[in-house]
Chain A
């Protein structure tokens, strides 16, 4: 089973600042990596798939990079609506199943 880790667990950022979130896989997942945003009481929302492709309707301030085992989600200038929990997910290890990271909470500094 591929284990996903995320760092930091919590990231405190001021509005307008840049946020950089990391995700690591225990073995290569190629570019089969997605990022999701989840706000309290809501379902997750797909932000990035294929490690770097923004999903439909996602603002350009969200960008993804990386391949293999190391991935990054960058939010270039945090808006108030971006404070949420962010999860990475690998979908490369099939049929072994999909695995999510534990999440990074982005909160207001």
Chain B
């Protein structure tokens, strides 16, 4: 079964850091680009960051550029999101999502994790 399981969320103070993980199973992880998408409470979906299958190319939304870093360890089938200088407006459920087709970032997201909640508050 194709599955994504996020972890690492929690409560953090403004200015703090957090690292999210997304464990993948059931598919050849290194063949697929991956993204992080977030959803603030009661709001819509916002794409945050994407990474190519090899990890050699990374992309960020303007709202997180310079503060967040996406990475992956293909030997561990795991995606990461390092979040620094967190702000109240970063409070959201963070989902990892798999690109539908192999070899390419220009794709819909066909598999999503269950999400992990990040709360930035003092």
| Docked-complex contact A100 and B61, CB < 8 angstroms | no
Known A-B contacts A43-B95, A43-B113; the reply to A49 vs B47 at CB < 8 A is no
Confirm or deny: B44 has a beta carbon within 8 angstroms of a beta carbon on chain A: yes
| Docked-complex contact A46 and B100, CB < 8 angstroms | yes
**What is the chain B residue whose CB lies nearest that of A50?**
B108
Interface of A is mostly: loop
Smallest Cβ distance from B95 to chain A, in angstroms? Answer: 6
| Docked-complex contact B114 and A43, CB < 8 angstroms | yes
Smallest Cβ distance from A39 to chain B, in angstroms? Answer: 12
CA of A49 to CA of B44 in the docked complex: distance in angstroms?
19
Known A-B contacts A43-B95, A43-B113; the reply to A32 vs B44 at CB < 8 A is no
CA of A103 to CA of B40 in the docked complex: distance in angstroms?
14
Known A-B contacts A43-B113, A99-B47; the reply to A91 vs B59 at CB < 8 A is no
CA of A97 to CA of B106 in the docked complex: distance in angstroms?
9
Name B82-122 residues within 8 Å CB distance of A: 95, 100, 105-110, 112-115
A-B contact pairs, 20 of them (CB 8 A): A34-B108, A36-B45, A43-B114, A44-B37, A44-B95, A44-B109, A55-B108, A56-B110, A87-B44, A89-B45, A89-B108, A89-B109, A91-B108, A95-B59, A97-B47, A98-B35, A100-B45, A100-B47, A102-B44, A103-B45
B residues near A (Cβ < 8 Å) are: 35, 37, 44-47, 50, 59, 61, 95, 100, 105-110, 112-115
